[in-house]
Amino acid sequence: MIINSLKEGLRGGGREGRVCLTSAVILSLSVYISAMAIEVSLLIITLSAIVTSGRSLKVLKAFLPFYVFFAITAIFFGFQVVKSLLAFMAVISAGALIYSTNIKEITGALLYFKVPQRVVSVVSLAISMLPLLVSDFNNIREIHNSKGIKGYYRLLKAFTSTTILRAISISESLYSKSFSYRAVGELRQPEIKDIAVFLLSVLILIYAISLEVST
Amino acid sequence: MIEFSVNSYFYPNGRLGLECFSEKFEGCEFLKGRTGSGKTTILRMMNGLIPEFYGGKLDGFIRAFGNKPNPRDIYYIKQNPEEMVTCLDVIDEVAYPSIQQGKKASEAKREAEEVCEEIGIGHLANRKTYEISTGELQLVEIAAAITSGSKFIVLDEPFAHLSRRNALRVIKIIKNLKHVVSEHRIEFEKYFDRTVNLGLEIENIDIPETEKGDVVYNGILELREREIVAITGDNGAGKTMMLKGIAKDMRRKGINFSILLQHPPYHLTENTVEKEVEGVNREVVTAFGLEGIKNRHPQSLSSGQMRRVAIAKAFKAKILLLDEPSAAQDINFRKKLVCLLRKCGKTAVIATHDEELVKYCDWRIEL
């Protein structure tokens, strides 16, 4: 479910890359600075849902098994767990902002912020491998669909070895394509909507700081 | 021109990859041979993958246009084009090798667009690489090779996953380029100027007749015991989907079956080949040539060998659902497979592009 939702994210959106990347970082920081304040988390979840046209909610849904874990923990630790759960969802929502742009603009943004080409090219290659891995995982799941620990073990083993073999194959392809760690991205002027997303993210950060200062 | 004078080559694990091979490749050549005869090793040597990438011990030399083989001169396209993908957008994929060679991104993309138009895939330029069919992806990789300005293109079993129509389209496109094609589907041999044979001999295998039994599955299709059915159709027609649909239905009905998908590592979960094929009829193991590799780790085998292990493993069930079982296998394997299915009294549904294999099946479904 998580892998499928990541692939869904590759379809991209209309927001500007640098804005999405900086907003994602600002919002994640806000959760941390506010000491996981509930209102900050809720604001981030709402903002991300609006900007990504609801796709961030699909990502949140993909993490459903983790919420069960939180629910069990809540029996022992009470209200604090609700705060942690919302903070967890807020951080995922902040990351999901990336879904509102396209990967080329994210690559462009990373290069703009002077992230080394080596890192950017590897990140972009890893993302390009994702659809193949999703299809591999789905196929393996269809073959090894027996239940129980043994079934899951076989599934995991087949998926791990397939991924390793794919990685070797792809590195062979990279050699054939004269791979030299060159990364290419796209940059464009932010639109008014993009600036609005950025300003709202900054406002949430300021609110988070004010909460921390007042306590 | 690519010139070979190789006495021997050993892979880093000590396995002999090639022995006593001297040949000159001028372009438009068809390379054929048994599974494991060294075809892929030769192709890998052409662009320097061997020994530069793989390592190992090479006794002899290879010269490509008078120089040491390198990927800039010789572009190698793998059998499975999905494993060549480096970008999410088709146009970026086509421009990628040129950009890696130092060309400006805007210039590389402009050239990529021109090449796409030239070879008739301009309509794919704005698509995602994971949304197009295998046949289309194969053409995208050829476009990338042309854009990169390589002097020579080397294709490893390009027709293994293609319909006849798409295979002929690829042949038409590469006709004007210097190329070598390594292939098991020898029905395409006639379209090339010269054939280099690494010792392929067509074996005489008699396929026994079998009596069909009762209906063992009645759902998406009706299947009788000991019946072999072929599903054929163009790339993207839905052969694999149909096979998966049958599997899902059989699972729901509690029918004993096994399914083999196109990528063999999906199926291999044991530490040795022997364990993988435990309980399988010895005749199958011997006929597939698995005796000599029974102590090896399945994931360390070549893709052809892996596929044979996976098919042999599928023989544990009464009904076999096989997706392109003859890919990466020599011409004799098709007959051998059908012969063993008949001898062991198995029922099978085979999704394939391979017309030779279809000939030996009882009936076909054309999608």
Min Cα distance B74 → chain A (Å) is 8
Residue B329: predicted pLDDT: 87
Q: Does the structure show a pLDDT above 90 at A141?
A: no
Which residues of chain A make contact with B80, given a CB cutoff of 8 A? 169
Q: Going edge to edge, which strands form the sheet with B74-77?
A: B74-77, B152-156, B179-182, B29-32, B194-197
**pLDDT band per the 50, 70, 90 thresholds, residue A101:** confident
pLDDT, one tens digit per residue, over A37-81 is: 999 999 999 999 999 888 888 888 878 878 887 777 777 777 778
Min Cα distance A164 → chain B (Å) is 10
What residues of chain B score a pLDDT lower than 50?
Answer: none
User: Is A169 within 8 Å of B83 when comparing Cβ atoms?
Assistant: yes
Contacts of A57 (CB under 8 A, 6+ apart): A49
Measured CA to CA, the distance from residue B182 to residue B159 in angstroms comes to 9
Residue B299: predicted pLDDT: 87
Judged by a CB distance cut-off of 8 A, whether residue A161 touches chain B is yes
Min Cα distance B16 → chain A (Å) is 20
Judged by a CB distance cut-off of 8 A, whether residue A3 touches chain B is no
Among A147, A178, A179, the residue to mutate for chain B (most B Cβ within 10 A): A178
CB burial readout B214-227, b (16+ within 10 A) else e: eebbeebeebbbbb
Q: Which of residues 150 through 189 in chain B touch A, CB cutoff 8 A?
A: none
Measured CA to CA, the distance from residue B322 to residue A143 in angstroms comes to 12
Residue B316: predicted pLDDT: 92
Residue A146: predicted pLDDT: 65
Q: Which of residues 83 through 142 in chain B touch A, CB cutoff 8 A?
A: 83-89, 92, 96-97, 99-102, 105, 128-130
Nearest CB partner across the interface for B266, out of A103, A158, A171? A158
pTM: 0.83
Q: Does the structure show a pLDDT above 70 at A10?
A: no
Q: Does the structure show a pLDDT above 90 at A130?
A: no
Measured CA to CA, the distance from residue B139 to residue B119 in angstroms comes to 8
Question: Which candidate, A125, A167, A159, A124, places its Cα nearest to that of A143?
Answer: A159
Residue B340: predicted pLDDT: 93
Nearest CB partner across the interface for A182, out of B80, B100, B248? B100
Min Cα distance A162 → chain B (Å) is 6
pLDDT, one tens digit per residue, over B22-42 is: 999 998 999 999 888 889 999
Nearest CB partner across the interface for A142, out of B72, B97, B244? B244
Amino acid identity for residue B310 in this structure: A
Judged by a CB distance cut-off of 8 A, whether residue A179 touches chain B is yes
Note whether B352 and B324 are within 8 A (CB).
Answer: yes
Judged by a CB distance cut-off of 8 A, whether residue A146 touches chain B is no
